[in-house]
Chain A
Amino acid sequence: MDLSRRFSQGSLASPPTLGSPPTLGHLVDMTMMDVSATFHGSSLRARIQEEFGLSEMTVGNDTERAMSLFQQRMESFIVRKADVLFQTRATSHVRRTHAGKDEEDYYAVLPPLELFMAVPILPAKERFYKMVQSGDIVVGKIVSLKDFGFFVKLLCLTSGGARDIQDMDITALCPSSDLPSHGAHQRPIEYYHTNDIIQAVVKTVSAVDDRIVVSLKPNHLPQLLADVYLGIITSDDLPVHFRRSQDLQTSQASYDQLLQRVWGFSNPSNVAYLGEVLDIADKHPPSLMRGLHRCPFPQEDFAESLRQHQSSKWALACVGTGVQHFKAGRHVDAMQCLEKALTFDPENVEALVVRGALYANKNSLLRAMEDFAQALKLNPGHNNARKYMCDTLLARGKQLQEEGEDEEAMTAYQRALVINPHLQEASHALEQVRTKLENMKTVSQVDLTTETEEVPSELSFAQSSKEKLQKLLEVEGSSKDRSRHRKRSATEHRMRAQAFTAHPPAAPEDRPRPTRRCKPKLRYPITGLAPRLLLSEKEEKKEKTVQLKFG
């Protein structure tokens, strides 16, 4: 083969010829390929070597297989798809779930596979000792209590997956030092009794003499499972797969039968959930087909971009007709077209600008400003938008000045200058307003001393708010006097009580209701004292009667 000769000469792979898969050796995980070759036999190994032009791979003990037709086909397939199958990729980790009660209905939790397979116990036990690691969470039954700790017969694993170890007769030790204290009065060990079921975390495993040490202290938990409860559990808290395996002993159902029976199997979102747990990316779905491998499609061909592109095209078409209507003077039709354009594409800059212009023409300056502001947010460099925005702000400023709101007129001019610092008209107008305001301020200060009723609008915001607050206080002051009562002497209290019993308050309809809010109030007291203290005697008495009524 031409290709293999080129590769065996040691040159790097040139761009692949049409029809042959890319054969860059360094993109492929050699260990995986080795494992596969070892399994299938030397013929596969030879073919891979030939295809990839690799030097002699480590020849381990290859199993010799009978070359059936199926085996041949299998090997051709592996060789053809080798670059995709053995592609180097990041290790994908199955999510380490804790078999809690919540998981029960997300998918069908079944007893462990080895139970159905009925593996022989001794090899399984050996395997268990090799597989269990510190950080695994186990459930066990206390078999004997000693001074230094207690022995637990392990029933099952709850983290990382189902594992049936009940029949394996594995005992683990939980030393006293690893027991949390349950009060100052008893030793930790006295809290536990034989036949208690506990959930513990594996602390150490010694492979040499098959000894497992567990702990009930939370600090031995791995980070991912940090909130798992350790301690005595009831039979209700036993993991689902364990309970189901208990049922299995009696019912002898098959895997499939059990699967159909379990509620979680009919949960429609179990596909999504398990896909996530098993780390199978359905968003970028894997494929072994050449055309679909590696998602070769450009982003603009995806649904959202196509839709956006289409909407903006339609919007622009509408804007075009709208502008035509506008130029011909048909403002109503133009507005309709613009509204249509904006229903197609609410964030279309052109449409917003034209609609803003239409509003400005109709003299709805505020709406125009909103549209221009949004257009500028989407595209700060849009020249027309900036120009129109400035013009509208100027017009608005003038409008405000006519209404007398010079403050806000000033802000409008300032905004216009922010957008276009060189706008002469705006800076002129701004200066005008500023000087006018300063003049008015000095005038208003003189006004204040002559006690006019009306509030001059040139007062600063802080001052006018203080006025408003005082007004509010005066109104409140008449009704909420209880807290600001002056202290009464004991005799006064007695007198008042006597007065009360002698003259019980009249029925509500007899007593003339005091009209609290119509009292003429001094608004801007010259002295600056609190309004309460300036009330006349008569008014004070009235308030006292009010007090009695509510007292």
Chain B
Amino acid sequence: MSDSKTARTEDPSRRRRSHHDDEELVHFRIVRFMMESGIKLRMTSVPMATAAIIYHRFFSVCRLQDFDPYLIGMTAISLASKVEEEHLKIRDVINVCYRTRHKDKPPLESQTELADLRQAMASCELLIMRVLGFNVTKELPHKYLLHYLKSLGDWMDASVWNRTPIRDTAWAMLRDLYHGKVCLQHKAQHIAVAVLYFSLLCYGIEVPLNNQAETEWWKVFSDDISEEQIKNIIEQIMDVYDLEKRL
């Protein structure tokens, strides 16, 4: 009796977990689509990150089945470009997103279809704003990461700092982690410190005199974080990279 009971209780959770994983994969795919479009639109990292956050926040409230996630993604890009004051022309956004989505079809030529998409995007934008309660800004880790890199770089040995691509890798990791929901779950400073820690760890570089100092370097940058938390965030980032394998 108890066996069947446990079997019954296990089943739904497993189903839920796989369903959840599938959803994660779908979101990963859409954010990948957004990142591709962002590169073709020559967007910089900050508006790109804002767009990803808008997307994730929307789908943490709404269900995936009710909306076309690609449309939401495209609208998030346009919205983010307005928020971060790096304006993109809507025609460009639609052209690029259409092309990225339908790689086999020729690029958009019909004026009517363009007008339809424009209309769709306008209503979608209002919908997203309402869902997010008109609160579309969030403090981003990019500023913090750059300042940490500058401060740390002044202290490190110049030859090591120039030769090892710690800065590029940290920046790459920061961009990549927006494929997952890590960005929503932690403070900006914590993410920045974790990414920098991760980058240094990958290359096996140690901060000079860190073990003899009173405060370790990551504690200096963000005094309310523990090494445990940093490792947690790093594991979540590695989870995001694992998702790519399953694509």
A positions within 8 Å CB-CB of B: 32, 35-40, 70, 73-74, 77-78, 80-81, 85, 87, 89, 91-94, 107-108, 110, 112-114, 116-120, 123-124, 127, 131, 160-163, 254-256, 259, 265, 268, 270-272, 274-275, 277-283, 285-292, 295, 297, 301-304, 306-307, 309-310, 313-314
Contact = CB atoms under 8 A, between A and B. Distances in A.
Contacts of A70: 231, 234-235
B143 A307 contact: no
Contacts of B176: 287-289, 292
Interface string B152-179: 1111011001111101110111011001
Given A70-B231, A286-B172, A306 B92 contact: yes
B112 to A, nearest CB: 12
Contact of A278 (B40, B157, B167): B167
B241 A307 contact: no
15 contacts: A35-B204, A70-B231, A81-B241, A85-B202, A91-B163, A120-B209, A131-B157, A265-B143, A272-B44, A274-B147, A278-B146, A280-B167, A289-B32, A291-B32, A310-B91
B61 interface: no
A91 B159 CA distance: 9
Contacts of B167: 92, 278-280
B153 A256 contact: no
A205 B205 CA distance: 27
Chain B residues touching A, majority SS: helix
B204 A38 contact: yes
B216 interface: yes
Interface string B68-90: 00000000000000000100110
Interface of B: 32, 35-36, 39-42, 44-46, 85, 88-89, 91-92, 95-96, 99-100, 107-109, 111, 142-144, 146-147, 149-155, 157-158, 161-165, 167-169, 171-173, 175-176, 179, 189, 201-206, 208-210, 212-217, 220-223, 231, 234-235, 238, 241, 244, 247
B153 A161 contact: yes
B162 A297 contact: no
B202 to A, nearest CB: 6
A414 B226 CA distance: 84
Q: Counting chain B CB atoms within 10 Å of each CB, which of A40, A93, A112, A255 scores highest?
A: A255
Interface centre among A36, A117, A271 (most CB of B within 10 A): A117
Contacts of B209: 114, 117, 119-120, 123-124, 127
Given A85-B169, A307-B91, A297 B39 contact: yes
